[in-house]
Structure 1
Amino acid sequence: MDLLAHLDAYVATVDEASFSRAADRLGIAQPLLSRRIKTLEEHFGGLLFDRSRRQVTTTEFGVLLLPYAQDVLDRAERLRQVARSARRSAVRVVAVPPDCGPAALARVIRAGAEHGVSLGVRELDPEPRLAGLADGSLAYALVRVPPEDAPLRVPLGVGSAPAADAPRDAPGPGAAGAPPGPRPRAVHLEDLRPRRSRDAAGGRPAGGRPAALALLTTAEDQVPFAADRLARAVARAGLPEGLLRPAGPVATALAETLAGRVRLLCTEPFARRHGVVWAPLHDTSLHRGYAPRASHRQPGAGGVPRWLVSLLAAGVGAGTASPAAGPPPGTDEDAVTRLAARG
């Protein structure tokens, strides 16, 4: 028995002193209401209404039970209100890549409060972001997709150490706090091949070709489709085998990069925050693509709000692609990207 529905029928009939009016008030058929009253009477073991008169009247037994029935219904309604309030105030977790800046994440949380939504932000690698959307532990996430299919495109580039002769207190190009200047020249992977040095006297090669600096990739660029594209591009460029390798902890990779021992694939905002010299990859099919998605398993999440999409785009550096990184003028960028993606 649905006790609340049956108590509703009982209280409404007392209030209206009529089976038909009570049924109309509850939006149900009168025979259904009558069955509910009869079932309730059988459950409690006594008549609630005197049906022998022209007008329905409540029995003494019914009057005795009425305040308790009303109390149960009032408590149930308060419970529903608390549940609704809890759903509205529940923290909705947004998952973003680990290399977002703290200021950008703070703006996401603040904007959520301004829109009446409690947001929490978690920095996760690509696979946990997908898993969190699937199991409902995340409300929203930025999902890695090929750049040609992505609503948000983030230029990926090569980060390296500042020049040795750069003043220690002056940030290099692309470093945090650097004054606005010309955009860095786009990097072809072929440019990363080591060049023979020449002796100063005769201009002849001064020995064998030096070893190329390793190119490190973080977990964000180790998703299968991205790693495969990058590996094929490195092979086409004729770079030494083993030059491309996964980075360990990001802090360690960053320290090695600043020491000039390796190069790091990263975004421009990340490079700027950490004083790394940055130049975008010319091949746009190697850039990062993101799709903002909402979990279908979290009640009330719905689609990703537009205001949140714009903040997430700013957080990952979407829309900051250098013109130099694109295809030559007059070419179809999407066509070039698709061809490059196919190798």
Structure 2
Amino acid sequence: MDLLAHLEAYVATVDEMSFSRAADRLGIAQPLLSRRIKTLEAHFGGLLFDRSRRQVATTELGMLLLPYARDVLDRSQRLDQVARSAQRSRARAVGVPTDCAPAALARVIRAGAERGTTLSVRELPPAEREARLTDGTLAYALLRVAPEHASHRVPLGLATAPPLDARPLTDSRRARPVHLEDLRPRRTGAATGTASCAAFSAAIGARTLPLPILTLTEDDVPYARDTLARAAARSGLPEQLVRPGGPAATALAETLAGRAVLLCDEPFARRHGADWAPLADSSLHRGYDVRATPRQGGGDVPQWLSGVLAATAGAGAAVQAAGWRPESADASTRLAAHG
């Protein structure tokens, strides 16, 4: 017996003093309401209503049990309210890349609070974000995907140590896209490629030997490694030139000391005082999708959440800031992007 449903039928009949009106109030058929009351009477071992009269009347047993029935229904309603409130306030974990800007993470938390959702932001490497989304530890995650299949793109570029006598790059003095060929070994003091800006030229042009290209954990995914290796080979770069940079702080230290070039996005480079020039090869850029855990049905991700999560990785504004457009790439870049 569904005790709550039967008690609702009993209390509604007492309140309405009519079986038909009580059934209408509960949105059920009158015969169903009558059966519930009879089942309840059998359960308690006595009549709750005197049916010998023209008007419905509550028996002595019915009056005795009425306050207890109301109390059970009231407590059940409060229990449901508490459960719904707890569900709404439960923190939902979202996975984002490591080394995100604190301001971007704060925007994620505020966006959730404005919509009555408590979000817990967790910075994780790409493989761990995907694994934790699959096992349900994360409710949502920003996942790395191939840029040609991505909903969000983040241009990658080369970060270098700024020259001591040069002003930092500004929006009005932004670097033009560079090619990996600019890092090829040279036989003379002249650069083999066209340097995209004075800062980048100063960082790589004074060396006979090429600077190593360091990669961050965010780019330690199979397709990204393979794409970068193929692009480096096409550009004539030694295979050992491209290597993982280890912890971000170590890679940055090597870069700012002028001993390496760091492959990263522009916001990351600017936050740490490095000069940055975007790569012309769009196949080397990062791609992201925002997805929900399969344990929650893998349903649609709210549009507002997709936008703020993508922004933590530098998507959206970063694409416009770098000045990259698919139609702006030259023919060789478009061919490279298609393999």
The whole-number CA distance in structure 2 between the counterparts of 1:143 and 1:180 is 29
Question: Per-residue CA shift, 1:214-244, capped at 9, x if unaligned?
Answer: 3222221122222221122122222212222
3-state SS of the aligned residue for 1:117? coil
**Offset of residue 298 of structure 1:** 4.7
Aligned to 1:126: 126
Q: Deviations over 1:65-93 (max 9, x none)?
A: 11111101001111111222223333333
Indicate the larger mover: 265-274 or 220-229: 220-229
User: Following superposition of structure 1 onto structure 2, how do residues 122-271 of structure 1 map, counting pairs within 5 Å?
Assistant: 122-163=122-163, 166-167=164-165, 172-173=168-169, 179-197=170-188, 211-271=209-269
- 1:274 corresponding residue in structure 2: 272
2:200 matched residue in structure 1: none
Query: What is the 5 A alignment of 1:36-115?
Result: 36-115=36-115
1:157–1:281 contact (8 Å) kept in structure 2 = yes
C-alpha displacement at 1:30, in angstroms? 2.0
Residue number in structure 2 paired with 1:315: 312
Distance 2:147 2:329 in 1: 20
Alignment length (residue pairs): 320
- Kept after mapping to 1: 8 A contact 2:280/2:329: no
Judge conservation of contact 1:186–1:279 (CA < 8 Å) in 2. yes
Write the distance in 1 (CA, Å) between the matches of 2:77 and 2:21: 22
The equivalent residue for 2:196 is none
Shift of 1:64: 1.2
> Identical aligned pairs, as a percentage?
66
- What's the secondary structure of 2:120's corresponding residue? strand
**Normalised by the size of structure 1, how large is the TM-score?**
0.81
Q: Matched residues in 1 for 2:66 and 2:329: separation? A: 81
Helix, strand or coil at the partner of 1:260: coil
The amino acid of 1:218's aligned partner reads: L
Amino acid across the alignment from 2:268: F
Match of 2:240, SS? coil
The alignment's C-alpha RMSD in Å is: 3.0
SS of corresponding position for 1:4: helix
Q: Against the structure 1 CA distance between its residues 264 and 336, is the aligned structure 2 distance closer, same or farther, given a 3 Å change threshold?
A: closer
Name the CA distance, whole Å, in 2 between partners of 1:41 and 1:336: 81
- The residue type paired with residue 186 of structure 1 is P
Deviation at 1:329, TM superposition (A): 5.0
**Which residue number corresponds to residue 197 of structure 2?**
none
After TM superposition, give the deviation of residue 320 of structure 1 in Å: 2.8
Matched residues in 1 for 2:333 and 2:266: separation?
22
Summarize deviations over 1:280-309 as a string: whole Å, max 9, x none: 11100110112233446459x963233x44
- Whether the 8 Å contact between 1:194 and 1:212 is mirrored in structure 2 is yes
Taking structure 1 as reference, are residues 143 and 119 closer, same or farther at Cα in structure 2, changes over 3 Å only?
A: same
Shift in Å, 1:257: 1.8
Counterpart AA for 1:251: A
Q: TM-score, normalised by structure 2?
A: 0.82
